């Protein structure tokens, strides 16, 4: 990273905006929860959002990683000063705990786990919200501060923290350890493998192997895709851990899991922008179900890190094709170029908009990885293997190769221009192979010129090779011809996105009925904001891209002919990375003229109507919706059901589960509950339980429900009228599902509050 500097253009501008946010953040506020975790009064109050909750402290870990990487990328001494001050503050806090523990929450939950007698759920361990996930960020941040910036104190601190973990986890049997791993645990396998690589201490390798999560990784190592219904970003760090274990041990089972996972996710489980997941989970393979909460930004941050490891194993341009697509169309697109704020999800719902974090009161997981992303842009522009220098990405930048006395400058305005120029600003006759990536999207022959003389080259693994004893002033020039091409969704060929080279072009739909602000503390607030009608593209020609032409005088701006219906509209397309603070669509619905005539385009179908009247919703079994709606439960469990393509929750016997949900005060509201039509009485350990339960609002029962296989093999909704006195002067209510002895409440597949009732 220290050998590459960005020069100008998109990524340099984005890097500078990311740097500004790191300078803005107050170290004393970030470390405040760490003070409180050991019973001390912090110098300043902690930040809001997730930093005011049990997961607090994860942000300071990301901050350490971001500061370290940005300092290497820019050389800004203010960043190093902040980094050293942060570490000194954390070292002081760590000195107050004799065990070496340091985090943003008390260690009580870990103390319970280390006894072997603890509670666990997918996102709860020892009574705390994903504690290993959160503390993993501290491990990773301290390791980055040492590896990137060579701060010895950071290594000393993370060794103490690792020894604390080792001492406690030694108390657990293999069965207890595996039980603990049922809860999301971040990249603990990876950081322990990294610590082993740094220190050579076999204790850390042993811990890394114990953190290898068999439930997820063993099927992958046998080339089985069992990802459906799993929380997506929980799995990617586990796979990175397996990759690090392969680097250490050479055991093929680790590599098999990594390569298979990467192929499955990038080829079968990703959207056109390179992101993946819907509502944070993997759905059915080879589907691209659209929605507001798709393409979690953390996932793509982690997928790029994983791709870097695979590329280290094999320099195949296929990896860089994915890397480029995800970098431009998700990561670059996820930061607001005006405020520097970051997205959590990237909506694929046609007509929706991006929602960004607030500077002081969000601190979502993707705020943290979003701090790191702008410092990482230079990581894979180039790759060196002895005498081979790979040119992977076409970004204006400079590369220094100290041992060869080479300084190579890449000049380009890509993707606005197809032309790239590589100049040896310094060279003294040393030999190197320059290997230029030929992307899969190139439209035609790529010609390469050295000092204006055309070269004869052949392509191997997606690269053209030009060898030479390079001297100061030597130039390599080439162009990468691009054109508009259509991308068709894996599960619906009539659902189309458009690309120009690697760049996803989004429909710019303006600010009709736009919210007052799209920078929010709560990313859920505008999930059900009223939408707009998005044009359908109607044409009888299969090559729909033929109807799209560039707009003269506006780089990377395109316009369709008047094929947008209703209304014979011309639709404007611009790069998705450049689209902010307005409505958009990435995917377009396409129809033939006859199909359009038969459709009733202006009348919304049931699901669209339901979205239009929804005030709030919860998806059971999904971490963020449940936590954000303050789930409470007793004798309750949840899981994913493939037949329904959704998660569910129930309670058994003397139990319940409840959520806080938004309503419109003093208005007639409805509670909508989604059930599976085949659910009925269920036998558990030889005892029959009926699905007979009550539904209450703020402890007032509004319904008694009995499920007896009313509508086999389908999901269905029931609308319950909420008495108006229960919403009087209230903006939130508690919705509770209660079971009693010999009975089950649920299964519940979805919960909404709505303004109207649909028939």
How many whole angstroms from its chain centre is CA 415?
24
3-state secondary structure 582-622: CEEECCEEEECHHHHHHCCCCCCCHHHHHHHHEEEEECCCC
> What backbone torsions phi and psi does residue 387 show, to the nearest 5 degrees?
-90, 5
Kindly give, in sequence order, each residue whose CB lies less than 8 Å from that of residue 332, ignoring residues fewer than 6 positions away: 10, 11, 14, 577
Predicted local distance difference test score (pLDDT) of residue 424: 98
Cα distance between residue 555 and residue 574, in whole Å: 9
Of 191, 80, 92, nearest in space to 145 by CA:
80
Predicted local distance difference test score (pLDDT) of residue 87: 98
Q: DSSP labels for 430-498?
A: EEEEEEEE--TT--S---EEETTEE----EETTEEEEEEEEETT-EEEEE----EEEEEETTEEEEEEE
Mean pLDDT, rounded, for 293-316: 98
Residue % of the chain over a pLDDT of 90: 93
Predicted local distance difference test score (pLDDT) of residue 608: 82
> What backbone torsions phi and psi does residue 126 show, to the nearest 5 degrees?
60, 30
Residue 609 pLDDT greater than 90, yes or no: no
**Residue 713 banded pLDDT, cuts 50, 70, 90:** confident
Helices and strands: H and E segment counts in the chain: 20, 39
pLDDT digits (tens, 9 = 90+) for 10-68: 999 999 999 999 999 999 999 999 999 999 999 999 999 999 999 999 999 999 999 99
Domain spans of the chain, in order of start: 212-334, 382-479, 484-601, 609-754
DSSP 8-state secondary structure symbol assigned to residue 327 = I
**Residue 602 banded pLDDT, cuts 50, 70, 90:** very low
Kindly give, in sequence order, each residue whose CB lies less than 8 Å from that of residue 200, ignoring residues fewer than 6 positions away: none
Of 51, 50, 49, nearest in space to 27 by CA:
51
Angle between helices 77-95 and 58-74 in degrees, nearest 10: 150
Kindly give, in sequence order, each residue whose CB lies less than 8 Å from that of residue 413, ignoring residues fewer than 6 positions away: 9, 396, 419
Residue % of the chain over a pLDDT of 70: 99
- Give the helix/strand (H/E) hosting 412: strand 406-412
How many whole angstroms from its chain centre is CA 425?
38
pLDDT digits (tens, 9 = 90+) for 348-385: 999 999 999 999 999 999 999 999 999 999 999 999 99
Residue 600 pLDDT greater than 60, yes or no: no
Mean pLDDT, rounded, for 455-459: 91
Answer yes or no: are the C-beta atoms of 35 and 42 closer than 8 Å: yes
Cis peptide leading into 11, omega within 30 of 0? no
Q: Average model confidence (pLDDT) for the chain?
A: 96
- Give the helix/strand (H/E) hosting 243: helix 232-249
Residue 139 pLDDT greater than 50, yes or no: yes
φ/ψ region of 216 (left if φ > 0, alpha if ψ in -120 to 50, else beta) reads alpha
Cα distance between residue 750 and residue 731, in whole Å: 20
**Residue 601 banded pLDDT, cuts 50, 70, 90:** very low
Q: 3-state DSSP call for residue 349? A: coil
pTM, to two decimals: 0.92
Of 232, 391, 414, 268, nearest in space to 320 by CA:
391
Predicted local distance difference test score (pLDDT) of residue 597: 82
DSSP 8-state secondary structure symbol assigned to residue 141 = H
Return the CATH number of the domain spanning residue range 382-479.
Answer: 2.60.40.1180
Answer yes or no: are the C-beta atoms of 167 and 99 closer than 8 Å: yes
pLDDT digits (tens, 9 = 90+) for 663-700: 999 999 999 999 999 999 998 888 999 999 999 999 99
Lowest model confidence (mean pLDDT) among 187-201, 210-224, 549-563, 633-647: 633-647
Pick the CATH number of 609-754 from 2.60.120.260, 3.40.50.1100, 3.40.605.10, 1.10.3720.10: 2.60.120.260
**What is the chain's length?**
759
Tokens 């606005």 locate to 416
Predicted local distance difference test score (pLDDT) of residue 604: 55
pLDDT digits (tens, 9 = 90+) for 185-212: 999 999 999 999 999 999 999 999 999 9
Instruction: Spell out a b/e string for 570-593, using b for 16 or more CB atoms within 10 Å of the CB, else e.
Output: ebbbbbbbbbbbebbbbbbbbbee
- Strand 475-479's sheet: what is its strand order? 4-6, 397-401, 406-412, 419-426, 475-479, 448-450, 453-454
């Amino acid at each position: 990273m220290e050998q590459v500097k960005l020069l100008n253009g998109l990524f340099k501008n984005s890097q500078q905006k990311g740097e500004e946010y790191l300078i803005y953040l107050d170290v004393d506020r970030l470390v405040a929860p760490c003070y409180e975790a050991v019973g001390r009064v912090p110098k300043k109050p902690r930040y809001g959002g997730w930093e005011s909750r049990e997961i607090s402290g994860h942000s300071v870990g990301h901050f350490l990683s971001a500061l370290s990487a940005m300092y290497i990328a820019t050389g800004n001494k203010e960043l190093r000063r902040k980094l050293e001050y942060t570490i000194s503050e954390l070292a002081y806090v760590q000195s107050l705990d004799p065990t070496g523990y340091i985090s943003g929450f008390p260690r009580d939950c870990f103390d319970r786990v280390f006894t072997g007698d603890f509670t666990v759920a997918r996102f709860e361990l020892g009574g705390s919200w994903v504690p290993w996930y959160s503390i993993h960020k501290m491990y990773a941040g301290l390791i980055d501060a040492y590896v990137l910036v060579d701060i010895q104190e950071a290594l000393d601190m993370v060794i103490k923290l690792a020894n604390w973990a080792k001492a406690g986890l030694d108390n657990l049997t293999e069965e207890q350890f595996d039980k603990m791993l049922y809860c999301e645990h971040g990249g603990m396998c990876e950081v322990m493998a990294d610590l082993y690589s740094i220190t050579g201490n076999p204790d850390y390798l042993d811990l890394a192997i114990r953190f290898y999560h068999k439930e997820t990784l063993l099927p992958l190592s046998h080339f089985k895709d069992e990802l459906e219904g799993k929380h997506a970003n929980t799995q990617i760090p586990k796979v990175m851990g397996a990759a690090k274990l392969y680097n250490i041990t050479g055991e093929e089972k680790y590599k098999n899991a990594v390569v298979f996972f990467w192929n499955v996710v990038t080829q079968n489980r990703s959207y056109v922008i390179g992101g993946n997941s819907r509502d944070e989970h993997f759905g059915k393979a080879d589907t691209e179900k659209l929605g507001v909460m798709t393409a979690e930004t953390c996932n793509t941050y982690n997928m790029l890190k994983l791709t870097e490891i695979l590329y280290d194993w094999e320099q195949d341009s296929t990896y860089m094709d994915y890397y480029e697509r995800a970098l431009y169309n998700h990561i670059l697109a996820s930061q607001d170029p005006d405020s520097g704020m970051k997205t959590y999800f990237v909506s694929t719902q046609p007509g929706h908009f991006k929602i960004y974090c607030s500077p002081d009161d969000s601190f979502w997981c993707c705020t943290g990885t979003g701090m790191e992303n702008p410092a990482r842009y230079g990581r894979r522009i180039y790759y060196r293997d002895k005498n081979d220098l790979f040119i992977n990405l076409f970004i204006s930048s400079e590369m220094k190769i100290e041992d060869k006395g080479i300084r190579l400058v890449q000049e380009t305005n890509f993707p606005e221009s197809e032309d790239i120029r590589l100049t040896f600003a310094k060279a003294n006759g040393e030999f190197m192979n320059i290997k230029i990536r030929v992307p899969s999207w190139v439209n035609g022959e790529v010609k390469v010129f050295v000092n204006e003389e055309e070269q004869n080259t052949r392509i191997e693994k997606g690269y053209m090779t030009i060898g030479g004893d390079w001297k100061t002033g030597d130039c390599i020039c080439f162009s990468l011809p691009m054109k508009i091409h259509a991308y068709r969704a894996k599960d619906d060929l009539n659902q189309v996105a458009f690309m120009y080279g690697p760049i996803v072009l989004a429909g710019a739909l303006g600010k009709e009925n736009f919210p007052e602000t799209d920078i929010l503390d709560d990313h859920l607030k505008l999930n059900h904001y009223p939408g707009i009608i998005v044009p359908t593209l109607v044409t009888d020609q299969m090559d729909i891209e033929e109807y799209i032409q560039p707009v003269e005088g506006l780089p990377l701006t395109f316009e369709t002919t008047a094929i947008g219906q209703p209304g014979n509209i011309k639709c404007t397309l611009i790069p998705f990375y450049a689209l902010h603070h307005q409505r958009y669509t990435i995917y377009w619905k396409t129809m033939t003229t006859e199909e359009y005539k038969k459709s009733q385009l202006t009348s919304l179908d049931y699901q669209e109507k339901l979205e239009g009247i929804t005030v709030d919703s919860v998806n059971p079994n999904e971490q963020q919706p449940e936590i954000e709606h303050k789930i409470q439960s007793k004798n309750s469990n949840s899981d994913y059901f493939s037949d329904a393509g959704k998660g569910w929750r129930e309670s058994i016997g003397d139990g319940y589960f409840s959520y806080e949900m938004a309503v419109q005060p003093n208005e007639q509201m409805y509670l909508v509950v989604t059930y599976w039509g085949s659910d009925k009485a269920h036998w558990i350990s030889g005892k029959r339980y009926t699905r007979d339960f009550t539904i209450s609002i703020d402890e007032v029962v509004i319904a008694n429900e009995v499920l007896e296989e009313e509508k086999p093999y389908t999901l269905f909704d029931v609308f319950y009228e909420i008495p108006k006195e229960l919403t009087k002067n209230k903006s939130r209510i508690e919705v509770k599902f209660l079971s009693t002895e010999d009975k089950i409440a649920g299964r519940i597949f979805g919960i909404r509050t709505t303004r109207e009732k649909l028939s």
